[in-house]
Structures are given as structure tokens and as C-alpha cells.
Amino acid sequence: MIKRAVRQGLIAGLAGGVAMTLGEKLEQAVTGRPDSYVPARVLQRLTGMPEHPGKQPLPVNWAMHFGQAALLGVLRSVMAHAGLRGPAASAKFAVVRLTNDQILENATGVGAPPSTWPRGELVVDVLHKSVYALVTGAVADALAARQGPGPGQSHAAVRPGRHSDVGPPPRKDASDR
């Protein structure tokens, strides 16, 4: 499952990253909001690359932007393969995506806690990361579904609802994925 989840997750994450970027560019055309160079600044701090004032090199910005999208897509793919699928799983994943950004941005000193942001900027960030999470989730779910239900879904199918007297399916059935 892990090899498949990695491969499919990279694809799903990149698809989500492309969708998020297209949405950002559309929103920027409407609102006039400038490009963000936070991804480049974070990558420069994480890797010890030289930092530049003002506008950042586009390849560095995109490397972090799409690199994060792809790598986090692997986690969403693992979720899908385990049986955590659908919009509710994608909503949970949106929180992971937002948290990942905040950890990296705040730990490197590039960003500030969202509670200090203007509300409009916070809404825009949450919207774009939600688009990423939903598209990444839809792709990851579709790819994982080709292997059938995940172990969690198989367990749930034994008897709908949560019951303390229903154990998991046999190990061999859960590990065939």
C-alpha cells in the first residue's frame, strides 16, 4: 500500500497544487492581491540558501509551493488507502495543510500566527488551502478506490455504526491492499 500511496499521493498533491495555484491567480486578478513569496523565503531559511530582499526567485517559490503540495498529497493518499475518503476526510486534511504551512512559516520566522493576520487574508488563505485539500482528496480517493475499499471501510461494512462487540476483519483481509 505504501508504494502505491506515495506514487498516487504525489500525483494527487500536484493536482491539488495546480488547482490551488489557478484559483490563486484568478483571485489575484480580481482582488489585485500581489504574489506571495512566503514559500521561497521558507525554503531559503530551511535550506540555508541565500535570502533576497523583495521579489523572490520564481523557481524557488514554486519548488516550495509545489513540493509541499506533492509531499502532503502522500498523506492524503495514505488516508484514502486506509479508507478515510470523501469530503469529510478532505476537510480534515485541509486542517493538516494549513497547520503544515503555519509550522514551517512560524518556525522559520517567515510568517506570523494566523490570529495576528487581517481577517481578509486569513479567509483567502483558508479558501485556497481548502481548494487544494478538496482537489487533492478527490484525486487521491479516485486513485485509491481502484484497489477497492480500504481496511477501515471493510471494518465498517461488517456492521454499520460503531460497536464495541465488532472486531476488525482478519489481518489477511486488511493487509491485502
Give every CB contact of residue 29 below 8 A, 6+ residues apart in sequence. Answer: none
Per-residue pLDDT at 30: 97
- For 16, the 3-state DSSP assignment is helix
Sequence-ordered alpha helix ranges (H) in 48-118: 58-82, 87-107
Q: Can you count the helices (H) and strands (E) in the chain?
A: 7, 0
pTM of the model: 0.88
pLDDT tens over the chain, length 177 residues: 789 999 999 999 999 999 999 999 999 999 999 999 999 999 999 999 999 888 899 999 999 999 999 999 999 999 999 999 999 999 999 999 999 999 999 999 999 999 999 999 999 999 999 999 999 999 999 999 998 877 777 666 666 777 677 676 677 765 554
Q: Which DSSP letter does residue 115 get? A: G
pLDDT of residue 57: 92
Q: What does the pLDDT read at residue 54?
A: 87
Sign (positive or negative) of CA dihedral 69, 174, 86, 94: negative
Q: How far apart are alpha carbons 128 and 102 in whole angstroms?
A: 14
CA distances from 75 to 79, 80, 85 (A): 6, 9, 12
